[in-house]
């Protein structure tokens, strides 16, 4: 399958008065055409910064310090600002995490959907507004002809998220990056949005990067999953393989912590069971422990883990990778 995106050794740092924060630290992954890659990890692990880095949208004092972002064979890091503007929205579109802050309160939602088409000179304003109404119908907003004149505050959270999806689709991008698209929504609306994304991916022939802290959300949608911890990817594998046979202790801990029906019953009931949790806390990116960032919380910690940072290495002949000394030694040799 042709590769649409290949990211190699991408690092994004933030300079603060306390020191350098490595929000994204030598991250590598790829997305094939038509594939959905799920990117999962706890809050603060660098997922959203990675999404912004892909389109060179990292706000100051952040900066991309190294790496390559190859999209359809061309390195986006080598493009001048004018060149990357042509890619943003038109080739790669980003669905932001919180629509209530991403949408402009003083413009109608119809205009905001149409704006990308106007900016990229794909349509005149009148035609773009008609297309905006059509896209609102595509993302299942009822009565689009009327609601195209609504302002963001007149819509529910679920409808605003649908507007964000319509904005992302407007210029017919090849790659969609959805950053926590269901976080602020109730469970029923979450399911509707995920179903919508799956159908749009098929109908528009999209490739998708779906970012979430919720493994359950990722499991329903992704073909492959990359697990991120403290700015690094620690494991990447096919969805079924990752859930059946997690290789990194952090991944295994995340899967164990997913609530399951019947895990907790009424007080005093036979089926009451405490939810599993990963011991300890997420490290401060300013004060990472020596060696592997996960080693203070890891049940399988070894001497090498405290002395060396594990690289992301392949597992045998498969395309699955893991950064853990349980599976390879500090020189990268399989154990």
The predicted model gives 36-51 an average pLDDT of 93
Q: Is the pLDDT of residue 264 over 70?
A: no
Task: Round to whole Å and give the CA distance between 28 and 179.
Answer: 18
Residue 251, pLDDT score = 96
Q: Is the pLDDT of residue 66 over 70?
A: yes
Q: What is the pLDDT of residues 267-279, one digit of tens each?
A: 544 456 677 888 8
pTM of the model: 0.92
Confidence of residue 266 (pLDDT cuts 50, 70, 90): low
Q: What is the pLDDT of residues 167-209, one digit of tens each?
A: 999 999 999 999 998 877 788 888 899 999 999 999 999 999 9
Q: Is the pLDDT of residue 260 over 80?
A: no
The predicted model gives 37-41 an average pLDDT of 95
Count of helices and strands (H, E) across the chain: 12, 12
Confidence of residue 318 (pLDDT cuts 50, 70, 90): confident
Confidence of residue 261 (pLDDT cuts 50, 70, 90): low
Residue 215, pLDDT score = 87
The predicted model gives 107-113 an average pLDDT of 96
Q: What is the pLDDT of residues 67-109, one digit of tens each?
A: 999 999 999 999 999 999 999 999 999 998 788 888 999 999 9
């Amino acid at each position: 399958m042709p590769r649409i995106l290949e990211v190699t050794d991408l690092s994004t740092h933030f300079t603060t008065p306390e020191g350098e924060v490595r929000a994204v630290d030598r991250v590598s992954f790829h997305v094939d055409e038509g594939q959905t890659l799920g990117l999962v990890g706890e809050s603060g692990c660098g997922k959203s910064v990675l999404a912004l880095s892909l389109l060179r949208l990292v706000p100051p004092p952040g900066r991309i310090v190294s790496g390559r972002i190859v999209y359809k064979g061309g390195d986006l890091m080598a493009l001048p600002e004018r060149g990357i503007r042509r890619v943003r929205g038109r080739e790669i579109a980003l669905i932001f995490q919180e629509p209530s802050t991403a949408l402009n309160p003083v413009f109608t939602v119809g205009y905001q959907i149409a704006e990308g088409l106007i900016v990229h000179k794909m349509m005149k304003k009148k035609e773009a507004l008609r297309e905006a109404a059509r896209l609102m119908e595509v993302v299942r907003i009822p009565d689009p002809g009327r609601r195209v004149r609504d302002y963001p505050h007149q819509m529910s959270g679920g409808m605003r998220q649908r507007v964000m999806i319509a904005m992302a689709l407007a210029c017919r991008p090849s790659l969609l990056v959805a950053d926590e698209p269901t976080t602020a929504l109730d469970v029923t609306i979450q399911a509707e949005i995920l179903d919508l994304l799956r159908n749009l991916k098929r109908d528009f022939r999209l490739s998708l990067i779906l970012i979430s802290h919720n493994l359950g959300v990722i499991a329903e949608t992704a073909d492959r999953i990359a697990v991120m911890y403290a700015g690094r990817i620690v494991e990447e594998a096919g969805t079924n393989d990752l859930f059946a046979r997690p290789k990194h202790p952090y991944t295994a801990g995340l899967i164990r912590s997913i609530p399951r029906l019947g895990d907790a019953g009424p007080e005093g009931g036979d089926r009451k069971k405490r939810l599993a949790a990963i011991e300890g806390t997420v490290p401060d990116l300013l004060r990472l422990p020596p060696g592997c960032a996960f080693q203070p919380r890891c049940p399988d910690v070894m001497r090498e883990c405290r002395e060396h940072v594990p690289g992301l290495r392949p597992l045998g002949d498969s395309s699955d990778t893991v950064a853990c000394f349980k599976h390879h030694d500090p020189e990268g040799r399989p154990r």
